[in-house]
Structures are given as structure tokens and as C-alpha cells.
Amino acid sequence: MSKFRTLEISDSRFESDNLRFMTVKTPNLKGRGDICIFVPPNLHHAQALPVVILLHGVYGSAWNWAYSTGIHSKANEMIDRGELPPMVIAMPSDGLWGDGSAYLPHNGYDFEKWIAMDVMDAVEEKIAGVEKNSPLFIAGLSMGGFGALKIGAKYGSKFRGISGHSSITNLKQMKLFVEEDLSDFDQKDQVENDVFETFLRFRAQLPPVRFDCGTEDQLIEYNRVLHRQMQEEGIEHVYEEHPGAHGWSYWAEHVVDTLRFFAKQIKR
């Protein structure tokens, strides 16, 4: 029996580029959420396929990663070359609240649980080869990096690795991008507003972590601070800086670093 009242998936006869689209009704959104899903071809009854959840940034939706970076084509090529094992990439909307939900619970919605629970439940239910024991990873860019790093730590027992690109590291940085007042997002527990504080709280279950940022990005100093904080606390991680700004050309180039990092965790 489905965990959802309604769950619609695209008809395979009309799909292209190995992308599928799903719409899920969940109490966490008090309505429907969309997921764009890359499913590799020619799986031949594969089992326990790895799943990567990719979170978009402000202003975007479920289509962003696929149609702004071509991640599905890149992944398919890497699988064909043997750089990656066959893996499913699930790209959900953030819930489409305001300029961005920040992937936090607020205003009567639980955008965090939509990502942490509903997305994988829906993918497992509808995508052949995805099972309860499928290795699960989470990554994102900007606001999605904030969501991925926090959710990956808070629900660390579910994830085998987490990654962020050009990540917001504290809720206050959302003001650089959104018109909504920060009070709309603010959590009563202030730890929930900060990536590093979340890492400290859930350190015992923290999965392998990587994150990167462009040297011309407006968030570079915040990422450098997170890197130093983690070094000082002895929290193992991978941090990289590359030329580039806060934009799709940077993320299109470096999302493959995340996929390679996740592939390494599968081999361990």
C-alpha cells in the first residue's frame, strides 16, 4: 500500500533523456510536490541502486538540476565510462514556498521532512531497483547546499554521504537572495539555523562530508569559516575552492565532483 494519498509518475512511452517526473501529495507540504528523476537505462533488474537526492537553490524547482546543468547526461556518460556505478538521481522541488523554503519546517509546512522522508519513500515505491537498503546520498547548491548539509547531518543514519556547492551556511545568509523576512524561516532552536552547529549536535552520526565554493562567490568567506570551524573541531571533511562565481556554469562543472565523492563511499 502506498504511503501517499496520491502519487503520479510520467508515462514511460513519452519520457526522454532517461528522465521521469513524479508528483506526490504529502501532509508535510499540505499538498503536492514534484520530483524529477534520472534513471539509468539498461539496468536489467538491478537491485539496491544508489540514490542521490539533489536539492536546488532559490527561485528554482524540480527541473533546475537537469535543465540547467545537464546532470542526467553527465551521469549517464560517467556510468558508461565506468566512473560511476549505475545510480538514480532524484531532484525534488523545495516545496515552492516564497523565493525558497530553505528546506526547513516553518509556517505550518515541513519542508525538511518532505526531503528527508517523502522523496525517498516515493522513489522507492515507483522506481524499480530502488530498495530500502539502497545507499542514499544528498547534495545541493546554495540554499540546497544549506538543506543538504543540515538534513544529511540531522538524518545521518539514512545517508552515506553529503555534499554542498556554494552553500549557505547560516540562515541569515538567505537574506542575500530572498525578499521574505527572515522571521518567516527562523527556528526556535537556533542550532537549526546553522550548518556548523548542526554538525556539532549530530557529530556522532555525521556521514562523510564534502563541500566547495567558487573563489568569486559572495558566499566564499562563509564557506571558508565553516571549513576552519570543522578543522578546529577535528571534523573530517573535504573542502575545495575553484575559480568561479555563484552561478550555473560553476555548478554544472563541479556537480560531477559530488558524484565521484559519492561513488567512493559506495566502494568502501
One-character DSSP codes across 143-161:
HHHHHHHHHHHHTTTT-SE
Write out the residue range of the structural domain in which residue 165 sits. Answer: 7-267
N- to C-terminal Cα separation, the chain: 34
197 with 169: CB under 8 angstroms?
A: no
The enclosing domain of 69 has a CATH number of 3.40.50.1820
pLDDT in tens, the chain (268 residues): 899 999 999 998 999 999 999 999 999 999 999 999 999 998 878 899 999 999 999 999 999 999 999 999 999 999 999 999 999 999 999 999 999 999 999 999 999 999 999 999 999 999 999 999 999 999 999 999 999 999 999 999 999 999 999 999 999 999 999 999 999 999 999 999 999 999 999 999 999 999 999 999 999 999 999 999 999 999 999 999 999 999 999 999 999 999 999 999 998 7
Question: For the chain, how many structural domains are there in total?
Answer: 1
The residue among 165, 126, 156, 136 whose CA lies nearest residue 248 is 165
Half-sphere exposure of residue 19, counting CA atoms within 13 Å on the CB side? 20
In degrees and rounded to multiples of 5, residue 167 shows phi and psi of -75, 140
Residue 218 grid coordinates = 559572495
Residue 2 lies in a domain: no
111 with 19: CB under 8 angstroms?
A: no
